[in-house]
Structure 1
């Protein structure tokens, strides 16, 4: 078993593994799966992504065959997100997923990025259970539009976070300073309605205000200063 960085000529293998994994784990139609896989893991697109330092794609091989890969990105000064962890269904009885997850954590820690968030569609029960086995807990849920159908996407983070209470119009909210996402003008921090509660929205560090309005693509824009968070991977522009 070998874990290594992906290279552009891994494109056919990544597309094949992603397609098999999505078909086995998600109730998505063939058109949606094929369009997303072709867009994100086409050789030219893959080469562009690998040229950016924020991107991280790790593959795991067995006897020279790619049997799984992890797709992640640094989204804040101290935070990265694991978007996808795909393992060919024929190899899921092994520890390939575990090795990939550990590899992602180690790579970002080496880069000085200690906090990892995980995203998974709520319809994939095994995905959420995987994160929980690794000491993470669900901290939020966001709607995401996939080819015209809205799904719930769960966000997972380390069970122990560093929060700070802030008063907004007489209500108390809790800002998690260990979980941030990059905006166009500054960082967004996850916000909870209760100290140990569910995800409520985001705190705009640029103008220090609460932003909790989100569209179905996962875009957030701060009404105070216009700071915006990019859409999720399932933006229609990618399909």
Structure 2
């Protein structure tokens, strides 16, 4: 494997590799992947990045079974003042398991430090099923959630920061009442209840860790205070009980769009 600066001749291969990586590792439709790829990795966009003195761009070139070397991964970042941020990191699925992702990330860190960056962070779309634990593997902590516009569509993006700089870490699974507002609920004698559309009280199990969401956690609800008969889920972002679970155990709030993907979807260590 060789790490090097990208060239304009790499753009077609980079786009092909990004499309393949997103198809494998992102919960996005083919139309969404195409829109993101064209907007962020089109010829003009890549050339602007390559020519930007504040940008960091490194590709990994690799060969398999004596084939000709090809671009197998890319990391793109930017420097803004004393902050260096990794914006995108992709590894071709056929070249995973060789620590290419880790090597690319470390190459970006070296480039940031050469420019005197004091704080380093990385971003990943919430729809990136490997992003969370990949950055945790690199000892980064999720500290922020924000919304980005890509291809005329809004996406939730997570921000990860080095522990020494993570003073405002977001922990979406905390259950302390001081950290979560629990909208549209009532608290009596330490028991929190919510009310269904037909006026029935359900009990919110705030003693559990909850299921992390893109905007706030979800909590299991019960029809009785003894947690005997389960009702469904409560969305701590908007207070809605209109939470649906699909066959893959993904949760989504019908009111605000807050969503949760189970841990089994979040990480494949071959990504490293």
Per the shorter chain, which TM-score range? 0.5 to 0.7
Deviations 1:135-194 (A, max 9, x none): 11000111334556543211100011286xxxxxxxxxxxxxxxxxxxxxxxxxxxx4xx
Asked if the contact 2:36–2:150 (Cα under 8 Å) also holds between the matched residues in 1, the reply is no
Whether 2:96 is the aligned partner of 1:73: answer no
Q: How much has 1:197 moved relative to structure 2? A: 5.3
Return closer, same or farther for 1:25/1:62 CA change in 2, 3 Å cut-off. Answer: same
| Count of matched residue positions in the alignment of Structure 1 and Structure 2 | 168
Partner secondary structure for residue 130 of structure 2 = helix
Q: How much has 1:94 moved relative to structure 2? A: 1.3
1:213 corresponds to: none
Partner secondary structure for residue 165 of structure 2 = coil
Deviations 1:65-90 (A, max 9, x none): 1011001111x211111111000111
Whether 2:26 is the aligned partner of 1:36: answer no
Matches within 5 A, 1:219-238: none
1:19 corresponds to: 19
Q: How much has 1:36 moved relative to structure 2? A: 2.3
Q: Once superposed, what is the RMSD of the aligned Cα atoms?
A: 2.3
**Structure 2 stretches lacking a partner, 5+ long:** 64-68, 173-178, 180-272
Asked if the contact 1:68–1:85 (Cα under 8 Å) also holds between the matched residues in 2, the reply is yes
Among 150, 154, 157, the residue aligned to 2:158: 154
Structure 1 segments of 4+ aligned residues over 4 angstroms from their partners: 145-150, 196-200
Moved more, 50-59 or 23-32: 23-32
Partner secondary structure for residue 121 of structure 2 = strand
Return closer, same or farther for 1:119/1:11 CA change in 2, 3 Å cut-off. Answer: same
Q: How much has 1:48 moved relative to structure 2? A: 2.3
Higher-Rg member (1/2): 2
Deviations 1:102-154 (A, max 9, x none): 10000111111132211112233421111111111000111334556543211
Higher strand share: 1
The alignment's TM-score, normalised by the length of structure 1, stands at 0.64
Asked if the contact 2:26–2:128 (Cα under 8 Å) also holds between the matched residues in 1, the reply is yes
